[in-house]
Amino acid sequence: STPVATAAAITRAGRRGVLVKGGIHLEQLTRVRVVAFDKTGTLTRGRPQVTDLVPADGVTATELLGLAAAVERWSEHPLARAVVERAEAEGVPIPAAQAFEALVGAGARARLDGAVVRVGSAALLESEGLQGPPRLSAAVHELQAEGKTVVLVTQDSDVIGAVAFRDEPRSEAREAVDRLHALGLRVVMLTGDQAATALALGRALGVDEVHAGLRPEEKVAALRDLEARLGPVAMAGDGVNDAPAVAAATVGIAMGLAGSDAAVEAADVALMGDDPRGVVTALEVARRARRISL
Ligand code: ADP
Ligand code: MG
């Protein structure tokens, strides 16, 4: 488009809370065939709450919550905050842990009374050679099918229970997906969360493809695969975990300027708020600028 049309479009987008970092990105937005969203904090509110405690035989819910909170007290993850909030709300004492370690995209561990306590995904525990007893696995699958995120808690090699969380979908997410479809685009979810949980949400929102259980570098690989199969991709995310994929996309979109600096810095377009319909606005403004300049 002409420099004047481009400048006007960037101004117009800015007034609607969409910061486009240069004319080239408007141009690229008009070529996009696919919009990929991170799940947590983007399609959902990113404020998970604990919904279920599933202690193993011989363990009480209070013990389970106390041990999980002892580890999670030192973690920055949204799931960790939810565990600590629940323990505090129930007045459950949180024992002191040592040697905390975050296992990025997988969970966390710490030492407690000489034992190693881990909190994290089933994939994490499997990678450390541990597995939940069958009774717990059935409960885990049921909770995941309800769209909940489930993490397991272990003490040395014993699985002592599971904790389930619900992260409400954003009310505007369904409309954003519908409007992207109306623009002729394919909508994809890329997430570190488990497949069953992600699929339940993807179905509810009308998302075309769900790729789950991805670590940050696997999100980049999934993006490259989408580009090879379908064409240019816009990737919208908010977390530190999303920054590599946001940087790798044809158009990287950071959601919520209150979100992670890494994602905003990696992005070509930054949304002032955390409303996923801002992605639709960005695409509409870019398409209109192209029409005006033709
Ligand atoms: P997302 O892509 O949804 O932002 P993350 O990459 O942050 O997800 O985490 C992926 C998965 O790793 C979570 O769904 C959870 O199972 C596990 N996980 C990561 N950190 C923690 C933690 N501190 N406590 C419990 N589970 C965790
Ligand atoms: Mg996120």
pLDDT tens, residue by residue, 153-163: 999 988 999 99
Extract the runs of DSSP E, i.e. beta strands, from 98-227: 98-103, 107-112, 115-120, 149-155, 158-166, 186-190, 209-211
* DSSP strand pairing (158-166 vs 149-155): antiparallel
The answer to whether the beta carbons of residues 75 and 102 sit under 8 Å apart is yes
Q: What is the per-residue pLDDT for 61?
A: 96
DSSP state of 214: -
Percent of the chain at pLDDT exceeding 90:
69
d(CA 190, CA 202): 10
Nearest ligand, CA of residue 120? 1
Band (pLDDT 50/70/90 cuts) for residue 259 is low
Q: Report ipTM for this prediction.
A: 0.95
Q: 95-109, 125-139, 170-184: lowest mean pLDDT where?
A: 125-139
Domain parsing of the chain, residue ranges: 3-45+169-293, 49-166
Place of tokens 């272990």: 154
Tens-place pLDDT, residues 186-206: 999 999 888 988 999 999 999
Ligand 1 within 6 A of CB of 191: yes
Q: Ligand 2 center to residue 133 CA distance, Å?
A: 30
* Spatial separation of the C-alpha atoms in residues 186 and 202, rounded to whole Å: 13
Q: Which of 147, 119, 153 is nearest to 133 (CA)?
A: 153
In the prediction, which pLDDT does 137 show? 84
Query: Residue 215 pLDDT more than 90?
Result: no
pLDDT at 65 over 90: yes
225 in catalytic set:
no
Tens digit of pLDDT for each residue in 102-132?
987 789 999 999 999 999 988 787 777 776 6
Q: Which of 6-20, 116-130, 164-178, 247-261 has the highest mean pLDDT?
A: 164-178
Atom of ligand 1 nearest to the CA of 215: 6
Inter-residue contact 195 to 213 (CB < 8 Å): yes
Pick the CATH number of 3-45+169-293 from 3.40.50.300, 2.60.120.40, 3.40.50.410, 3.40.50.1000: 3.40.50.1000
Residue 97 and residue 74: Cα distance in Å, rounded?
A: 9
Q: pLDDT at position 221, please?
A: 96
According to CATH, the topology of domain 49-166 is Calcium-transporting ATPase, cytoplasmic domain N (3.40.1110)
pLDDT at 264: 81
Closest approach atom of ligand 1 to CA 72: 23
Task: Check: CB of residue 57 under 8 Å from CB of residue 165.
Answer: no
> Does the pLDDT of residue 95 top 90, yes or no?
yes
Q: What share of the chain is helix, strand, coil (3-state, %, to 5)?
A: 45, 25, 30
Query: How high is the mean pLDDT of the chain?
Result: 91
User: Are the C-beta atoms of 94 and 84 separated by less than 8 Å?
Assistant: yes
Report the nearest atom of ligand 1 relative to the CA of 241: 6
Contact between 94 and 87 (Cβ < 8 Å)? yes
Mean pLDDT of the 82-104 span: 95
Q: 106 in ligand 1 pocket by Cβ < 6 Å?
A: yes
Q: How far apart are the first and last CA of the chain?
A: 7
Please name the helix (run of DSSP H) or strand (run of DSSP E) that holds residue 275, with its range, or none: none
Length of the chain: 294
Helix 173-182 crosses helix 277-293 at what angle (to 10 degrees)?
30
